[in-house]
Amino acid sequence: MKKIVLALLSGLLLAGGWPTYGFPLLLFFGFIPLLWIEYQLRLTPSNNPKKIQVFAYAYLSFFIFNIITTSWLYFSTPFGMWFAVLVNTLLMSLVFLIYHIIAKKVNFFIGSLFLITLWISFEKLHLIWDFSWPWLNLGNGFSEYFSWIQWYEYTGTFGGSLWVWAVNFTLFKSFLLFQKYKEKNILIRGAVKGGLLILIPIGVSLSIYYTYTPSSTGKINALVLQPNINPYTEKYNTTDKRIGKLLNSLSKKYATDSTQIIIAPETVFADGTNLNNLLNSTAIQSSRELLQEFPHTNFLTGISLYKPIRNPAEITYQSNFLREGFWFNDYNSAFLWNNSQTPQLYHKSKLVVGVETFPYKEILQPILGDVMLDMGGTVAMKTTQPKREVFLLNNNKKVAPIICYESVYGQYVGNYVKNGAQFLAIITNDAWWDNTQGHKQHLSYARLRAIETRKSIARSANTGISAFINEKGEILNQLGYEKQGAIQAQINLNNKLTFYSKYGDYIARISLFLSLFIFLYALTRRRVTN
């Protein structure tokens, strides 16, 4: 019973440290009860299957963590929520089980290093594989306390994950020494070490935060629209023509002659436009009308596109079968239109599992049929593109068109910056999850991208929270959930390439190497006593 309580405690501590409601200091203690369970099972002689017990307690802890922090997925798709919670819990538990197996063969320091690097490698996996779900990567946990992690411009969120684990193991080591020697000084020294590990990075961050002076290549007057169209009852039952009139009406109400860019949400033009006929579409016609009113501005928005395929050689694994002899590619896209250029297009390329993409389609579709796509009610797999497109405005400034879920991926967003983006535009639709933590966390994570890249962000949500965020992660202006309207701001532009933007997830790459090295090293070792 005691171990069950400890496992529950770990889950509750981790969940209690999560944004946007939690206090991230709890993350620095969250793994200690679970580590203590594993340590006791590892060293206590028993005929019971220890691996099964370790896995079971870990699963309980991580299930509590996952269900509390991401249960809001239920409002979009109950099946998808349970799939995400149960599978992600399974993966976290397997990481902990592998640590248990290796820890029996190495000393405490190497075992600790193995779990830290293995966990970070697992988080990196969630950024690159088809079942991608990096929402609970530990470094995201500080998004509301952004003044603590200004050094993310050097490390990205993996620096936060490393920080969390380093403090947990430092405090846990002190607890083990106290259990062995029963000397209070051990606890005092451990508390001091742990405190310094927490306070020094915060102190460095605060120093950066209060002395940071953004570099600048100018400013831009931006207007963000929030049409507030319910995605379940209105969005796909509202024509592009009506949407165009609404966007133009909001623009005319809030824009001025000095407005240089107007940004509208993801797939706000949702009818489904033939890519080959884009120039004659309702979306472009509405854009032309807007630009007649404001000829010097740029209009960036989202659109649903499709491209018919009649040449079998053009069919890819992302193409969709309609009927015999007819295939099509389906796109969740952003386009930018102004009076000096033809439309610029970018196709969303980090897709929501089960809603926009069928993971490992060639392998799983014969087994599962269309169950993955049915999770979100969509009927087609989206088609992606290999490069991070940067849009060129009519004043030669450059903007990154980031679509919804893509804003959760640090290195991915950094690639826009490497391609020349001077500020970030996030277009999204966060109303799928109702008024829950989902849209709040999504906005909060955008702060991390601002810090990592030191770029200002203009965020347009159909229904969610539209906002302007500066290079330090501060929200300058926002429009709340289920509110129709617009917000405007003058935001800073810069050509700065941060260390993280330049080198990406180098901490994860180093971690992968170290975890593999320790794993192979441990295979040659006999069991050791810590």
List pLDDT tens digits, range 242-298: 999 999 999 999 999 999 999 999 999 999 999 999 999 999 999 999 999 999 999
Residue 374 has pLDDT above 80, yes or no: no
Q: How many residues would you count in the chain?
A: 530
Place of tokens 């809030």: 254
As a whole-number percent, the residues of the chain with pLDDT over 90 amount to 80
Place of tokens 């203590």: 36
Residue 458 has pLDDT above 50, yes or no: yes
Long-range contacts: 192-200, Cβ < 8 Å, 24+? 194/28, 194/167, 194/170, 197/163, 197/166, 197/167, 197/170, 198/25, 198/28, 198/167
Q: What is the pLDDT of residue 241?
A: 94
Q: What is the pLDDT of residue 358?
A: 76
Structure tokens that stand for 183 in this block:
């000397």
Average pLDDT of every residue of the chain: 92
Question: CA 76, CA 353: separation in Å to the nearest integer?
Answer: 13
Query: Mean pLDDT highest for which of 5-9, 182-186, 235-239, 307-311?
Result: 5-9
3-state secondary structure of 491: strand
Angle CA(264)–CA(270)–CA(271) in degrees, nearest 5? Answer: 140
Dihedral sign for Cα 375, 377, 379, 384, please: negative
Q: What is the pLDDT of residue 375?
A: 44
Residue 41 has pLDDT above 50, yes or no: yes
**pLDDT digit string (tens) for 18-35?**
999 999 999 999 999 999
Contact call for residues 231 and 462 (beta carbons, < 8 A): yes
First to last CA, the chain: 26
Average pLDDT for residues 169-191, to the nearest whole number? Answer: 92
Q: Is residue 321 within a helix (H) or strand (E), and if so which, with residue range?
A: strand 320-323
In degrees and rounded to multiples of 5, residue 380 shows phi and psi of -145, 145
475-479 β-sheet, strand order? 391-392, 398-403, 423-428, 457-461, 466-469, 475-479
Is beta strand 326-337 parallel, antiparallel or unpaired with respect to 344-347? antiparallel
Average pLDDT for residues 175-179, to the nearest whole number? Answer: 93
Residue 174 has pLDDT above 50, yes or no: yes
**Domain extents for the chain?**
2-212+505-523, 218-304+335-347+384-495
Choose the CATH number for 218-304+335-347+384-495 among 3.10.560.10, 3.60.110.10, 2.70.70.10, 3.40.50.11820: 3.60.110.10
In whole angstroms, what separates CA 342 from the centre of its chain? Answer: 31
**pLDDT digit string (tens) for 485-528?**
999 999 999 999 999 999 999 999 999 999 999 999 998 876 66
Residue 168 has pLDDT above 50, yes or no: yes
Question: CA 479, CA 332: separation in Å to the nearest integer?
Answer: 24
Long-range contacts: 337-341, Cβ < 8 Å, 24+? 337/284, 337/287, 337/288, 337/291, 337/298, 337/299, 338/291, 338/297, 338/298, 338/299, 338/393, 338/394, 339/291, 339/295, 339/296, 339/394, 340/394, 341/392, 341/394
Structure tokens that stand for 205 in this block:
């961050």
Residue 44 has pLDDT above 70, yes or no: yes
**pLDDT digit string (tens) for 403-449?**
999 999 999 999 999 999 999 999 999 888 888 999 999 999 999 99
Question: CA 382, CA 434: separation in Å to the nearest integer?
Answer: 24
Q: What is the pLDDT of residue 373?
A: 46
**pLDDT digit string (tens) for 323-372?**
777 899 999 999 999 987 789 999 999 998 878 887 776 666 565 555 54
Q: For residue 250, which of 230, 233, 225 has the smallest C-alpha distance?
A: 225
User: Which pLDDT band holds residue 377 (cuts at 50, 70, 90)?
Assistant: very low
